[in-house]
Amino acid sequence: MQQLFDFAFARLHHATVKRKEFGESWKDYISTHPWEIDVRNISPRSFEILAVTRAQAPVQMSLAFSDWLATIRAALDNGLYAWVATATDQNPPPLAERIQYPICSTPKEFASQRKRLSGVPLDILDKLEMAQPYQVDSGPESTLVYWVHELARVDRHRSLHIGLGRVSAHRIRLLLPEDVTATFDESVKPFQHIDGELLIGRFTTSKAISRFDMKVDLRGVGIDPEIQAWAGFRLDGQRTSLVDRMRYTELFTLNTVENMAYFSGVEPPDGFLTFDPPEEG
């Protein structure tokens, strides 16, 4: 069944290609300078700085992300199919049409999947259950595989995911008249995705001045790609960039498929990259 596993690993190579396509779409998008910076008076001495979207992300960006998602999901499904085919020594294996890698948020959901996957050997089902998102203490939403399932489900059955920008670096410099100072409001949280417009700074001047009496240098503000539906995700409680999330997801999926190959006695085409199999004694 080596070829079946080779196909699953080929999917993962293809996912990397799709991630890079997504990155190229992003570069093309930002080359058009799709955001404007707007400084607004909210009182004679108070000002807000906003990032305002003037051009939406192109559909090519959403399509590249869609292709990446579908490829990751297919790699998991193909890996499980190869595992079951090897374990049963049948291709197609029993009830092949039902074989799909289960991703469940509750034990009840997995119990339902067990019934659907009745042609899968019990020891494989037990291993799959141990890898479910609900097994994680911090909750299923804290796992990458949960988001693969949720994002792919929405993408497949409802609509493409919306590409956005997210503020990733934040350094604002002001050039004010010599007799004027400014105090920034530190309660502003600028590291967010830009959905239409985003407040990235608020400051108060020591005396009333016009918006046109100052210069605002925003070259220290960086904007990275984001997917709206995934923007709130935290990995180990920390905010991570979309590109890092995509890379980590590929690595997680590679590890999952490599484990399936190991349990099947199959060597991946590139060897085991995410763990060292124990030496046979």
Note whether residue 270 is domain-resident.
Answer: no
How many structural domains is the chain composed of? 1
Asked if 156 and 77 touch (Cβ cutoff 8 Å), the reply is no
Locate 203 and state its tokens. Answer: 């400051």
Residues 63 and 85: beta-carbon distance below 8 Å = no
User: Is residue 200 domain-resident?
Assistant: yes
Q: Report pLDDT for 262.
A: 97
- Residue 194 counted as domain residue: yes
pLDDT the model gives residue 17: 97
Residues 6+ apart with CB under 8 A from 84: 93, 99, 119, 120, 121, 124
Q: Is residue 268 part of a domain?
A: no
Beta strand ranges found along the chain (DSSP E): 35-43, 46-53, 163-169, 173-175, 182-184, 193-194, 197-205, 215-217, 222-227
Where in the sequence is the domain holding 203, given as residue range(s)?
2-263
Low-confidence ranges of the chain (pLDDT < 70): 280-281
Structural domain contains residue 48: yes
Q: Does residue 128 form part of some domain?
A: yes
pLDDT digits (tens, 9 = 90+) for 96-125: 999 999 999 999 999 999 999 999 999 999
- pTM for this predicted structure: 0.90
Query: What confidence score (pLDDT) does residue 281 get?
Result: 52
- Report yes or no on 8 lying in a domain: yes
The pLDDT of residue 169: 87
Residue 274: inside a domain? no
